[in-house]
Amino acid sequence: MNAKSTPIFTDQAVSLAAQALKVTRGHNTVIEALSLPLTPGAVTAIVGPNGCGKSTLLNTLARILAPEQGQVILNGRDIQQLPSRTVAQQLALLPQDTHAPEGMTVEDLVRFGRQPHQGLFQQWSPEDQAAVQAALSAADLLPLRYAPLDQLSGGQRQRAWIAMTIAQSTPLLLLDEPTSALDLGHQIEVFELIRRLASQGRTVAMVVHDLLSACRYADQLVAMVAGEVIAHGPPSEILTPELVFQLYRVHCDIIEDPFSGSPMLANVRRA
Amino acid sequence: MSNQHTTPRMLPLLVSGSLILAVTVLASLLLGAGEISPARAWAALWGYGSDEALFVLYELRGPRTLIGALVGVALGCAGALMQAVSRNPLAEPGLLGVSAGSSFAVALALVLGASISTLTVFVAQAGALVGCALVMTAARLNGLGHNPVRLILAGATLTSLLMALTSLLLMFDQRSADEIRFWVIGSVAGRDMSQAIQVLPFIGVALGLLAFIARPLAALALGESVARGLGEKPARIRLISVLVVALLVGSATAIAGPIAFLGLVVPYIARHFTGPDIRRTLWLSAVIGPILLIAADTCSRLLAAPAEMPLGVMTALLGAPVLIVMIRARRMPLL
């Protein structure tokens, strides 16, 4: 890679797909016979009721969990057969509920993103520095780079974690409920960052708790119930009152956001 | 780790640490409970003076200081490592029964007929390994990891159990009792230099492994999933860490007996200067460890002169208040 160009990520086609996955946790089968190709270059939001297996799916896609049956295919190969470093160079994961040690600064955190690219005794390279710089700048964190994480707002802190995954320079980004603990303003801050990352060509998959935000910020919606995908497609095409009922057991009407054009729920009421 | 951001902070720390260490070593050589005044010791240092002065300097204080330095490095690094891998600032080998496990193993070997000079090193290491594995399991049990009181209780329970068992063994065997009583109270005085040389390779291997796992270990501080997302293998890192802690604590215990609190206090001070990153904490711990240990040993000679206070007593007196302050702090620092 040329050190002069901003090393966002290697410009190559990337594909990630789940094939006939069965994932169990303890004695419970959480996911059964699930197949899902991620659309390259798009933001995919996985939605569904609590306990439907969305986080389990994301963690299986990220190779944190191993499926009992089926495969996750990364660039044509079974992800479980690939070395963990190779996977980490292709795919960055932001888990739910992250904690950084006290006193760690934004830049310290972002620098961790370079680990999959460093050899055992390899020094910090100009390329690493450039990637960290680019990640900080992409997440609007340059002025806060030396600030300790525990002194930031929730939104800033989450942007710092995302910046770490940006510095990993991977074409694929998996985010588990990136906005779950944030208030509205901070949620939008994070979703807009995710949109910018997608516009640079990354493929993003995220678990999103809030259906409205998912429709607003995702290109592809994956609706899950009880470990199965019941609908998959652009939000405006697949979101219907019937789907919402299947997901959350509530009645509603679907209207169009007059500004963004994305579908919205109205008149939500108990079944 | 050369970069514009850590180097300027690490280099002055290590340089000033090394200077303080040099002063401490000098003090340890010049000061003592005996008749040799600092001035006479100074002369002896350059080869002048009576046979007595030369003997005190080169046969007593010199080896004692060297052993102190070795034990300080081992316990300082072991403490930093153990706290990092269990993500708990109170996880310390001495506090959590690893040293006690090591002592118990040695006592057992003695009772079974081994002589203290031959087997100690390996036996102490095996004991440390078992103790360490027990503690790691306990520290990772749900609810124990970030509950300081419960972690300390678990450690205290294990320590007193092992110490009771050690006493029981010694009760039945008078020969071993005399041999080991002096050893069970940690001290660097009158230790066998040849044993220190015997453990050098172990400490070397441990420090080599440390260099190998420092970076993955730092990532582990961000949590299991994050570390795996960065391509690290947490289970393997933990396994190597346990091995390294056992090598270090086993070596230290074999030559100096169990010394409490050092592994707790050293990383605590180091983190104050370096922040939470284990890559920085470790190197500074390797400097602060010998400083504290040699300083405590020097004090132990002077405070009760002409008698000597055992080093284990000294470190406990210094370490206990720090532990209380840490537990009383409103919130545990999250590692």
What tens digit of pLDDT does each residue of A141-153 get? 999 999 988 888 8
> Mind telling me how many Å the CA of A261 is from chain B's nearest CA?
35
Token digits of residue A120: 């055992």
Summarize pLDDT for A3-34 with one digit per residue, the tens.
Answer: 333 444 544 578 899 988 899 988 888 888 89
> What is the structure's pLDDT at B50?
80
Q: Of A48-52, A198-202, B11-15, B122-126, where does mean pLDDT reach its minimum? A: B122-126
The owner of tokens 């939470």 is B276
Contact B190, B256 (CB under 8 A): no
Q: Does the distance separating the beta carbons of B212 and A120 come in below 8 Å?
A: yes
> What is the structure's pLDDT at B119?
64
> What is the structure's pLDDT at A254?
87
B148: pLDDT strictly greater than 70: no
Q: Of A168-182, A249-263, B178-192, where does mean pLDDT reach its minimum? A: B178-192
Q: Which residues on B lie below 8 Å from A124 (Cβ)?
A: 1-3
Report long-range pairs for A77-86 (Cβ below 8 Å, ≥24 apart).
A84/B228, A84/B231, A84/B232, A84/B233, A85/A116, A85/B231
> What is the structure's pLDDT at B117?
60
- What is the C-alpha to C-alpha distance for residues B304 and B300, in angstroms, rounded to an integer? 7
Q: Which domains are seen in chain B, by residue range?
A: 7-328 (1.10.3470.10)
Summarize pLDDT for A191-246 with one digit per residue, the tens.
Answer: 999 999 898 889 999 999 889 889 999 999 999 999 889 989 999 889 899 999 99
Cis amide linkage into residue B201, ω under 30° from 0: no
The owner of tokens 């370096």 is B274
> What is the structure's pLDDT at B175?
67
> What is the structure's pLDDT at A58?
93
B176: pLDDT strictly greater than 70: no
Q: Which residues on B lie below 8 Å from A99 (Cβ)?
A: 222-223, 334
Q: Does the distance separating the beta carbons of A98 and B222 come in below 8 Å?
A: yes
Secondary structure of chain A as H, E, C letters: CCCCCCCCCCCCCCCEEEEEEEEEECCEEEEEEEEEECCCCCEEEEECCCCCCHHHHHHHHCCCCCCCEEEEEECCEEHHHCCHHHHHHHEEEECCCCCCCCCCEHHHHHHHHHHHHCCCCCCCCHHHHHHHHHHHHHCCCHHHCCCEHHHCCHHHHHHHHHHHHHHCCCCEEEEECCCCCCCHHHHHHHHHHHHHHHHCCCEEEEECCCHHHHHHHCCEEEEEECCEEEEEECHHHHCCHHHHHHHHCEEEEEEECCCCCCEEEEEEEEC
Q: Does the distance separating the beta carbons of B221 and A107 come in below 8 Å?
A: no
Q: Does the distance separating the beta carbons of A124 and B2 come in below 8 Å?
A: yes
> What is the structure's pLDDT at B318?
79
Q: Does the distance separating the beta carbons of B277 and A124 come in below 8 Å?
A: no
Q: Residue type for B108, please?
A: L
Give me the half-sphere count of Cα atoms (radius 13 Å) on the Cβ side of residue B200.
Answer: 8
B145: pLDDT strictly greater than 60: no
Q: Which residues on B lie below 8 Å from A149 (Cβ)?
A: none
Contact A73, A63 (CB under 8 A): no
Q: Residue B137's pLDDT band (boundaries 50, 70, 90)? A: confident
Q: Does the distance separating the beta carbons of A93 and B225 come in below 8 Å?
A: yes
Q: Does the distance separating the beta carbons of A107 and B5 come in below 8 Å?
A: yes
Contacts of A120 (CB under 8 A, 6+ apart): B212
| Nearest partner of A144 among A129, A130, A163, judged by Cα | A163
Q: Which residues on B lie below 8 Å from A167 (Cβ)?
A: none
Residue ranges per domain, chain A? 16-100+171-270
Q: Does the distance separating the beta carbons of B230 and A98 come in below 8 Å?
A: no
> Mind telling me how many Å the CA of A36 is from chain B's nearest CA?
21
Secondary structure of chain B as H, E, C letters: CCCCCCHHHHHHHHHHHHHHHHHHHHHHHHCCCCCCCHHHHHHHHCCCCCHHHHHHHHHHHHHHHHHHHHHHHHHHHHHHHHHHHHCCCCCCCCCCCHHHHHHHHHHHHHHCCCCCCCCHHHHHHHHHHHHHHHHHHHHHCCCCCCCHHHHHHHHHHHHHHHHHHHHHHHHHCHHHHHHHHHHHCCCCCCCCHHHHHHHHHHHHHHHHHHHHHHHHHHHHCCCHHHHHHCCCCHHHHHHHHHHHHHHHHHHHHHHHCCCCCHHHHHHHHHHHHHCCCHHHHHHHHHHHHHHHHHHHHHHHHHHCCCCCCCHHHHHHHHHHHHHHHHHHCCCCCCC
Q: Does the distance separating the beta carbons of A107 and B231 come in below 8 Å?
A: no
> What is the structure's pLDDT at B334?
57
- What is the C-alpha to C-alpha distance for residues B47 and B180, in angstroms, rounded to an integer? 35
Summarize pLDDT for B22-72 with one digit per residue, the tens.
Answer: 999 988 888 877 777 887 878 877 878 788 878 777 778 888 899 999 999
Contacts of B84 (CB under 8 A, 6+ apart): B217, B218, B220, B221, B241, B278, B281, B335
Identify residues of B whose CB sits under 8 angstroms from chain A CBs. Answer: 1-3, 5, 212, 215-216, 218-219, 221-223, 225-226, 228-233, 271, 275-277, 333-335
- What is the C-alpha to C-alpha distance for residues B293 and A119, in angstroms, rounded to an integer? 36
Q: Does the distance separating the beta carbons of A123 and B2 come in below 8 Å?
A: yes
Interface test with B, best of A94, A105, A124, A176 (most B CBs within 10 A): A124
User: Average pLDDT over chain A, rounded to whole?
Assistant: 87
Q: Residue B177's pLDDT band (boundaries 50, 70, 90)? A: low
B6: pLDDT strictly greater than 50: no
Contact B69, B203 (CB under 8 A): no
Summarize pLDDT for B219-257 with one digit per residue, the tens.
Answer: 988 888 899 999 998 888 888 888 898 889 888 888 888
Dihedrals φ, ψ of B182, to 5°? -70, -30
Q: Of A109-113, B129-133, B218-222, where does mean pLDDT reach its minimum? A: B129-133
| Residue B41 backbone class (left: φ over 0; alpha: ψ -120 to 50; beta: rest) | alpha
Cα–Cα distances in angstroms (integers) from residue B20 to residues B17, B24, B71, B291, in the given order? 5, 6, 17, 7
Identify residues of A whose CB sits under 8 angstroms from chain B CBs. Answer: 59, 62-64, 84-85, 87-89, 91-95, 98-105, 107-109, 112-113, 115-116, 118, 120, 123-124, 129, 165, 168
| Highest CATH level, class, for A16-100+171-270 | alpha beta
Give me the half-sphere count of Cα atoms (radius 13 Å) on the Cβ side of residue A66.
Answer: 6
> What is the structure's pLDDT at B47?
77
Angle at A70 between CA A68 and CA A72, to 5 degrees: 105
For range B81-89, the mean pLDDT: 81
Task: Name the residue facing A98 among B1, B226, B275 (closest C-beta).
Answer: B226
